[in-house]
Amino acid sequence: MTWPTVHLRHGEVQRIQAGHPWVYSRNIQKVTQEPEDGDVVQVRDHRRRFLGLGFFNSKSKIRVRLISRSKLEVNQSFFEMKLQTALNWRHKHLADRTCFRLVNAESDGLSGLIVDNYDGVLVVQTSSLGMDQRLPQIVGALKKLMSPKRILERNDSTGRRMEGLEERHSILYECESEDSNTEMIVKMNDLDWRIDTKKGHKTAAYLDQYENYQQVANLVARMDAPKVLDCFSFMGGFALHCAKAGATEVTAIDQSEDALDAATSNAQLNGLSQRCEWVHGNVFDWLKVMTAKKDNDEALEDGPRYDLIILDPPSFTRSRASVPDALRGYKEIHLRAMRLLKPDGVMATFCCSHHIDPLTFEGTVLSAAFDNRCTLRRVGTYGQPADHPIVPSIPETEYLKGFAYQRLEY
């Protein structure tokens, strides 16, 4: 089979050979046979050596997204093979999970495709034109391999606009024995979790924090009747896991009323309502109020004090240009949160931007500790679970990092 050819410039090959799947317009020397947007093209270096096959889009900043390093026909059988490989990895490393990410785009060699599995209900996102055009083949492969109850598309990501694609929500497949209700109850660690696959962030829930929820809850289990503050709580993932683990009081803050409504519902579902207080508000503003200064510039003595504080904000940066502003934001919330942390208390903090590496993030936390004249001891390190695999030659696949620190008092 022959495909239109994209020839790369001299000196633009090393990153692609190392495994990165994105070819930018600036990397290209010439394109033959004038491919249509969404077509499969072959990519070759300046010496005409074959590098792989990918989807072409002249309207995208990413001109080609490689999906195969071999010469294979991209059809339903191709997707069955790729999906089976991804599923085998999940079965090997997450055998006891009923909710997991089946396909994590570049991490699984399928740039532009996300598939999450919620106990047999699959939610699909296509963020590239080539993948979007082949959605029927992807659905066919998923039906054959997974025998799902339902397949939905939640195509509302910002990345679609960059590919010239519109937002779209629909039910792609539904088993005849299933009703069309998109709300369901799934298991997340030891909790029952009510989700709506038609609403919420991402595909319905934050599956990348699944294991970190439990690890932070394990900190609570080792404390004596702790008070917990969960900032940027969203649907209460950390808050409810901490309450389940034995926290006597959990204060959870988020600016999304819909998210807090869902958190409240899940607290009731698990019998944890009495331990949780849900606060609707901006975390920055709330922390400023709670760490207000007296005239003598001392922190308020009667302000709340917590045994565990969790900071899990959304990404503060979408580009390298905004990293300095993002770091100032991270330092601000850590400065104020530390003032509410008890002596020997623990702070668990997360960053979900791949533009900020772990050392830079930790340096920002330590800078805030220095300004607060306190010393931190690292007691935990967090990252991504196996269903969000990291490919080191694709830095964008490593985005979630986190640390837990104890505030030392000598």
Active site residues: 352
> Which whole-number Å values give the CA distances from 62 to 21, 29, 57, 59, 221, in the listed order?
10, 15, 8, 9, 47
Sign of CA dihedral 174, 179, 182, 187: negative
Q: Exposed, middle or buried by CB within 10 Å (0-12, 13-18, 19+), for 358?
A: middle
- Residue holding tokens 């799902």? 148
Amino acid at residue number 331: K
Helix/strand/coil for 168? strand
Q: How far apart are CA 271 and CA 386, in angstroms?
A: 30
- Distance in Å from the first CA to the final CA of the chain: 71
**Contact 55/131 with Cβ under 8 angstroms?**
yes
**Contact 242/228 with Cβ under 8 angstroms?**
yes
**Contact 402/382 with Cβ under 8 angstroms?**
yes
Q: Which tokens go with 394?
A: 């694709």
CA 163 to chain centre: 21
Nearest residue to 109 via CA among 391, 351, 396: 391
> Which whole-number Å values give the CA distances from 59 to 30, 65, 132, in the listed order?
16, 13, 15
Q: Which tokens go with 361?
A: 């993030």
Helix/strand/coil for 377? strand
Q: How far apart are CA 103 and CA 92, in angstroms?
A: 15
